[in-house]
Structure formats: structure tokens, C-alpha cells
Amino acid sequence: MSDIFPKWTNQLPVMAGVAAAVLGATALAGITYYVTPKYTRVGYQPKQPVAFSHSIHVDQLNLDCRYCHNGVEKSWFSNIPSSSTCMNCHSQVRKDSEKLQLVRDSYASGKPIEWVQIHKVPDYVYFNHSVHVNRGISCVHCHGEINKMDEVYHAKPLSMSFCLECHREPEKFIRPNELVTKLDWKNEGFDGKKAVHDWKVQPGQSCSTCHR
């Protein structure tokens, strides 16, 4: 028999076992690491038609988020500003800049600029901006440090577990309501627990809170 099955074949099952274990562990690790919005969504940075820098407008010039995204306190949807909003200043500031040609064209023609949407929850998720920004939840929690971004990218996973992290412990994230657009605010002694209680913040955790 030893001519057909040399001696080393005795170890074949062990070798196969080792190989299978290593491959299995690798596949598991790969799936854990890659098959999650932390990989698939985070880092998405599309090229926008106009090179608008949030860092210049917010960090340097200190504009409030709501100057442009003025619907965010009233609507479930946070609007992208119309080009007339840009023209409030750019009819005079840098009014001949080549970079702003598209904005001027859009303002003149009424045809919107085709900005690329970055943050998209699935269509079966109901997310309401206004209820968050009116209860002390800042833009920064879901959008990251937009104020520091020259070119916006998807900074947070916006996965279901991401939403639930905050819905389970809102006191860790809540802040004074008038500071929701101050993205670099640091909590120094603000009592989140008390705010959650006093403002009757009840972030639901049932399915129908978001899937309605």
C-alpha cells in the first residue's frame, strides 16, 4: 500500500484542516472588515461640478451651515442651496472667477447645478433632519467635520448600528440646541442626561421609528 499512498499522505487530513482553517478565518476577517458601510460608504468623495470648499466658507469665513442649508430646521430634507444663494455674495465677491462660471450660468438660466449627492440612506429609511437639529443633535455626528473639508467626503458609515448607537444613548451626543451648527464644539460640562429628560427626547428603537 505504501507505493500508492506514501507515508506523507498520513498527514494530508491535518494539512487540509490547517489550510481550511486559515482560509476560513481569512474569509471571515475579510467579510467583517469589508462587507460593512464602514468600508463601502466611508471615504466616498465624488468630484463636484463646482469646487466648493466648506472649509473656506465655514472654517475661515464662519458662515453658519444654515445660511445655505436653510431648510434643515423645518424639513426632513436638508436642501442643497440654489445658485441664487451663492450669488448673494458672489454677485460681488470673486465675481469674475472662472471657478464660478457654472454658478453664474445656472443663476442666469435657472437650470440647477448638478451637485453629486454623497450621503444617501436607503430609500426605505425615514430620516428627518429637522427633528435632530431641533433637539441638539449636531450635523457633525452624521456628516463628520464638514467644516474642515475642502472637498466633502462620506465620513460616517450611516449604517443601522450607527443610528442605533445614538438612539440608545442620546445623552452622549446631545448638546445645547443653539450650538448644533458649531461643528467644533466640545462638551465641557453639558449635562446630556438632563437635556434628554428636560427636552423629552425619546429616540425610538423600534423598527417603525425609521422604517415606516
Site string for other proteins, 106-125 (x = CB under 8 A): -----xx----x--x-xxx-
Residue 46 in contact with other proteins, rule: CB under 8 A: yes
Which DSSP symbol is given to 78? -
Cell of 152: 466633502
Shortest distance, position 84 Cβ to other proteins, whole Å: 7
User: Is residue 128 a contact residue for other proteins (CB under 8 A)?
Assistant: no
Residue 41 vs 135, nearer CB to other proteins:
41
Q: Minimum CB separation from other proteins for residue 76, in Å? A: 9
Contact (CB, 8 A) for 72 and 130: yes
Dist. CA 137–CA 65, nearest whole Å: 14
CB of 185 closer than 8 Å to CB of 174: no
**Chain CA centroid to CA 182, Å:** 17
CA atoms 143, 149, 153, 155: torsion sign: negative
Contacts with other proteins, residue ranges (CB under 8 A): 8, 11, 15, 18-19, 22-23, 26, 30, 33-35, 37-47, 61-64, 66-67, 70, 77, 79-80, 82, 84-85, 87-89, 91-95, 111-112, 117, 120, 122-124, 153-154, 178
